[in-house]
Amino acid sequence: MSAQVWIALAVIVVLLVAVSIFVSRRNETQKQAPRPGIDYAPGVGDDDSIPRDTPRQSIDQIVISDALNVIPEPVIETQSPDSEEAVLGFEIPDSAVGRMHRLRARLARSNNAIGKGLLGLLGRDNLDADTWEEIEETLLAADLGVAPTMELLEALRTAVQVEGHPSQERLTDLLRASLLELVNPNLNRTLNTKVEGRPAVVLVVGVNGTGKTTTTGKLARLLIAEDQTVLLGAADTFRAAAAEQLQTWGDRVGAPVVRGPEGGDPAAVAFDAVTTAIEAQLDTAVIDTAGRLHTKTGLMDELGKVKRVIEKQSPVDEVLLVLDATTGQNGLVQARVFAEVVDVTGVVLTKLDGTARGGIVVAVQRELGVPVKLVGLGEGPDDLAPFDAVEFVEAIIHG
């Protein structure tokens, strides 16, 4: 074959290779070109492309299944919420730990008539009969009660007679010890809200106006702050705003609320609430009841019926009587009547921050033979605190 033929063949081969390369590159370019109207992330093929309205992701965020050769739904990155409340959609109550201590200053301001008043009188140079009479009046004005007042007076008189004229520091110690003995730090103030195998049932009772429904809501917050699951029962069906008020409290902390029709049977609502709590395997059911005037015997009997109906489904573990500390000795009349209808296991004293009558703690415990378990020390949602005898007396002494 001549040289001219070989040259011609070589040129043809070169041209064929060049054409092949050109076509291959053009096809690759067309394959990667985006479709009209959609902006794709670069470097991803047509079938697996992700529109730009989805946030860009790092290679670590896109996991490809080798078996199926598919890309799962992209992980949408959002800004972190400012708090846990933003995720849960309801409020996170303040921790129950140390509430009484945090509120001690407020309690001290409200009760300083006891501490400063007594220490001022005891610190006089001449503790004559008139001074002791003033001390007695101060204690009675603080709603300590007649018997506790006489006991405290006797203890202080004896100490003064034995020691002559004690120093202010010694008088403070004497007063602290005497008051602490009256308040009785040895009483069991534990809330029975944890029961093995079923929800604990807490019945909240008291006269309208004492802050009963508000206390029920605050108690739910307190228990939720201790990592308990809580259901609220709106068994006060005769006061139009009671169920709505309780619903608001429940919504704020994520506690479900069982309600009935206005004017309906309170016992039925209470029964349904406990049943629901059992079925949902919750920790505690807190039942708000109608705050009937204690002089209306029929309505008080109705409260007894509520408790009996609940007990067909479950034992009642706590009956908390809510008393307004500002009512003083009148609160003891209420306490006696409620105690005759239901077995009160503990007392909640509300509005304690608005009165100098801190002695009501001693008086009501003496009257009922049950401890003060909770105190309300303000209008805030977390201003319900487990009662601490030592903190309480310190607040009185150092007011």
Place of tokens 């407020």: 106
Q: Is 70 exceeded by the pLDDT of residue 106?
A: no
Q: Identify whether residues 316 and 254 lie together within a single domain.
A: yes
Read off the pTM.
0.74
Q: Identify whether residues 176 and 247 lie together within a single domain.
A: no
Q: Is 80 exceeded by the pLDDT of residue 7?
A: no
Q: Identify whether residues 170 and 246 lie together within a single domain.
A: no
Measured in whole angstroms, the distance separating CA 163 from the mean position of its chain's CA atoms is 48
Residue 193 contacts residue 283 (beta carbons within 8 Å): yes
The answer to the question of residue 164 being in a domain is yes
Q: Identify whether residues 336 and 219 lie together within a single domain.
A: yes
The answer to the question of residue 311 being in a domain is yes
| Torsion angles phi and psi, residue 324, rounded to 5 | -85, 115
Residue 365 contacts residue 326 (beta carbons within 8 Å): no
| Torsion angles phi and psi, residue 319, rounded to 5 | -120, 105
The answer to the question of residue 280 being in a domain is yes
Radius of gyration in angstroms for the set of CA atoms belonging to the chain, rounded to a whole number: 37
Domain boundary among 183, 218, 246: 183
Pairwise pLDDT comparison (101 vs 199), residue with the higher score: 199
Least confident of 134-138, 272-276, 310-314: 134-138
Q: Identify whether residues 255 and 165 lie together within a single domain.
A: no
The residues that bridge with 233 in the sheet, in sequence order, are 258, 287
Q: What b/e sequence results for 196-229 when a residue is b if at least 16 CB atoms lie within 10 Å of its CB, and e otherwise?
A: eebbbbbbbbbbeebbbbbbbbbbbbbbbbbebb
pLDDT tens for residues 341-376? 889 999 999 888 765 567 888 888 988 899 999 998
Least confident of 97-111, 121-135, 150-164, 233-247: 97-111
The answer to the question of residue 47 being in a domain is no
The answer to the question of residue 105 being in a domain is yes
The residues that bridge with 204 in the sheet, in sequence order, are 288, 320
Q: Identify whether residues 120 and 165 lie together within a single domain.
A: yes
Pairing of strands 384-386, 372-376: antiparallel
Q: Is 80 exceeded by the pLDDT of residue 89?
A: no
Place of tokens 């005037």: 293
Q: Name the domain count of the chain.
A: 2
Q: Is 60 exceeded by the pLDDT of residue 231?
A: yes
Distance CA 264, CA 235 (A): 9
pLDDT tens for residues 117-136? 788 888 887 888 898 999 89
pLDDT (average), residues 202-213: 90
Q: Identify whether residues 204 and 306 lie together within a single domain.
A: yes
Domain boundary among 119, 154, 183: 183
Q: What is the mean pLDDT of the chain?
A: 76
Three-state DSSP at 374 gives: strand
Three-state DSSP at 349 gives: strand
| CATH code, domain carrying 232 | 3.40.50.300
Q: Identify whether residues 246 and 313 lie together within a single domain.
A: yes
- Domain coverage including residue 135: 100-183
Distance CA 241, CA 247 (A): 10
CA atoms within 13 A on the CB side of 146: 0
Give the tokens for residue 360: 């009501």
The answer to the question of residue 4 being in a domain is no
The DSSP 8-state label assigned to residue 40 in this structure reads B
If phi > 0 it is left, if psi is from -120 to 50 it is alpha, else beta; for residue 371 that is beta
Q: Identify whether residues 130 and 214 lie together within a single domain.
A: no
The answer to the question of residue 70 being in a domain is no
**Residue 188 parent element (H or E):** none
Domain boundary among 344, 368, 385: 344
**Residue type for position 159:** A
| CATH code, domain carrying 153 | 1.20.120.140
Q: Identify whether residues 314 and 229 lie together within a single domain.
A: yes
Q: Identify whether residues 160 and 270 lie together within a single domain.
A: no
The answer to the question of residue 392 being in a domain is no
Distance CA 283, CA 345 (A): 19
Q: Identify whether residues 145 and 207 lie together within a single domain.
A: no
